[in-house]
């Protein structure tokens, strides 16, 4: 069975007969008849009731027709993805996207590259969906497989401490890294940038784990724990019940754009250059 068999079946039902289906498909009526006969033979069932006035699907035909429409839609989507890939750029991220630069990045991209539509795609994975094939590039702030992915550092972000809005620490302007040792630290095990390695082995805080930015924020809002995160989170996830304060004595987080080493999108370098420029312009 081939796609042409399914297209022929759908065309007959939609057109209401073999003659009009042949016109729509650009083939002869005899070819339409042979194609449907071949499909019925391969499936071992009759798909159409034919009379001098109409063509209607059999019970089996109704079932096959529904599946055929889905298969053809998927095939059309696949072709569309392959042929329009260079007119669309998908940039993935696990959280925060480009931080405070996100909106400006989208505006400038649209102005500079009107022929390439930009899509930001959030995927809760370490590579922001790149390893899963869900995007063309990804913004990452954690370690990645540099044998599989090429990359560029586009900027640096300071670390912030996240806490409940009514936490006593919320009255401070900054939090020393050493003070975190007295608190329970919440770490996003899957995509987070924080590890216990920020502290000496004998002076580490108690750690609890989560696997999603929304769960991380919800748990911090209870006041039972605090978190450490790049400043992009403070910009993208402002919400009631959460306060962010700058963390002192901690190294900044490098922001990378990564892409598949052997299959880069043609607009990769343009994407890197624009984001690098925005990070350089911070005041």
Can you read off the two tokens belonging to residue 86?
């260079």
C-alpha 86/C-alpha 72 separation (Å) is: 23
Asked if 176 contacts 203 with a C-beta cutoff of 8 angstroms, the reply is no
Which pLDDT does position 189 carry in this prediction? 87
Q: pTM for the full model?
A: 0.70
Place of tokens 């770490």: 187
Can you read off the two tokens belonging to residue 29?
């009526």
Which burial class, exposed, middle or buried, applies to 239 when counting CB atoms under 10 A from its CB (0-12, 13-18, 19+)?
exposed
Asked if 12 contacts 32 with a C-beta cutoff of 8 angstroms, the reply is yes
C-alpha 248/C-alpha 229 separation (Å) is: 12
> What is the distance between the terminal CA atoms of the chain, rounded to a whole angstrom?
62
C-alpha 135/C-alpha 269 separation (Å) is: 15
| pLDDT tens, the chain, 283 aa long | 788 899 999 999 988 889 999 998 889 999 999 999 999 999 999 999 888 778 889 999 899 999 998 898 888 877 766 666 678 899 999 999 999 999 999 999 999 999 899 999 999 999 999 999 899 999 999 999 999 999 999 999 999 999 999 999 999 999 999 999 999 999 998 899 999 899 999 999 999 999 889 999 999 999 999 999 999 999 999 889 999 999 999 999 999 999 999 889 989 999 999 999 999 986 4
Which pLDDT does position 283 carry in this prediction? 47
Q: Which residues contact 113 (CB under 8 A, 6 or more apart)?
A: 89, 267, 270
Asked if 37 contacts 20 with a C-beta cutoff of 8 angstroms, the reply is no
Question: Which of 41, 48, 39 lies closest to 14, judged by CA?
Answer: 48
Question: Which of 128, 125, 148, 124 lies closest to 137, judged by CA?
Answer: 128
Q: DSSP characters for 207-230?
A: EEEESSHHHHHHHHHTTS-BEEEE
Q: DSSP characters for 137-162?
A: EEEE-S---TTTEEEEEEEEE-EEEE
Asked if 203 contacts 146 with a C-beta cutoff of 8 angstroms, the reply is no
CB atoms within 10 A of CB 174: 12
Which pLDDT does position 282 carry in this prediction? 63
Asked if 186 contacts 220 with a C-beta cutoff of 8 angstroms, the reply is yes
Can you read off the two tokens belonging to residue 243?
């306060």
């Amino acid at each position: 069975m081939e796609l042409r068999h399914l297209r022929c079946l759908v065309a007959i039902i939609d057109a209401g007969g073999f003659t009009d289906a042949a016109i729509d498909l650009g083939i002869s009526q005899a070819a339409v008849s042979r194609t449907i006969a071949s499909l019925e033979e391969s499936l071992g069932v009759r798909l159409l009731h034919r009379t001098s006035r109409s063509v209607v699907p059999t019970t089996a035909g109704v079932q096959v027709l529904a599946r055929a429409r889905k298969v053809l839609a998927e095939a059309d989507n696949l072709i569309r993805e392959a042929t329009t890939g260079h007119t669309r750029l998908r940039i993935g991220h696990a959280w925060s996207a480009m931080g405070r630069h996100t909106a400006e990045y989208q505006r400038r991209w649209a102005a500079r590259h009107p022929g390439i539509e930009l899509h930001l795609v959030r995927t809760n994975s370490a590579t922001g969906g790149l390893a899963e094939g869900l995007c063309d590039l990804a913004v990452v702030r954690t370690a990645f497989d540099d044998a599989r992915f090429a990359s560029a550092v586009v900027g640096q972000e300071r670390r912030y401490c996240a806490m409940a809005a009514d936490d006593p620490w919320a009255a401070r302007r900054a939090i020393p890294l050493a003070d975190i040792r007295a608190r329970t630290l919440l770490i996003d095990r899957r995509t987070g940038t924080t590890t216990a390695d920020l502290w000496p082995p004998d002076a580490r805080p108690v750690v609890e784990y989560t696997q999603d930015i929304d769960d991380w924020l919800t748990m911090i809002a209870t006041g039972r724990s605090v978190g450490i995160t790049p400043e992009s989170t403070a910009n993208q996830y402002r919400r009631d019940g959460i306060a962010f304060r700058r963390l002192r004595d901690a190294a900044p987080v490098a922001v990378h754009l990564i892409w598949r080493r052997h299959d880069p999108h043609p607009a990769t370098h343009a994407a890197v250059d624009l984001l690098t420029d925005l990070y350089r312009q911070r005041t």
